[in-house]
Structure 1
Amino acid sequence: PEPTIPTPEPQTPEPTIPTPEPQTPEPTIPEPTTPEPTIPEPTIPTPEPTIPEPTTPEPPPIST
């Protein structure tokens, strides 16, 4: 008897087409830069020292 050689069916594999996921890029929201408030240093006015004028005492009247 002739040997029955099974004819292999040609397997045509379905092509796997990768579906590209749509990349939605995240919007880069810039953080609001809150500028630090510039606190002015309190300028303490240095009061000028009031120098009292030396009071020259009047000489007592010379009693003759």
Structure 2
Amino acid sequence: MPDDVIGVTGGWFLLGILLVCGTLYANPAKGVSLFPLSAPAGGLLLLAGWIGFGTAGLMRQ
């Protein structure tokens, strides 16, 4: 069970990083954002990933 949680939350975490970092790159370089709420959505996915990693770690003990 913890390995499944880590796999799913790892995907959320990576998607969150891509959304946040993609917006940070695209705004200054091209003057456009990926989509209007990509940074807040990416931040929420990063938080969900960290919570999932913590939960999986607690379940593993």
Is the TM-score greater than 0.5?
no
TM-score normalized by the length of structure 1? 0.18
Structure with bigger gyration radius: 1
TM-score normalized by the length of structure 2? 0.18
Point out which structure has higher relative CO (alpha carbons under 8 A, 6+ apart): 2
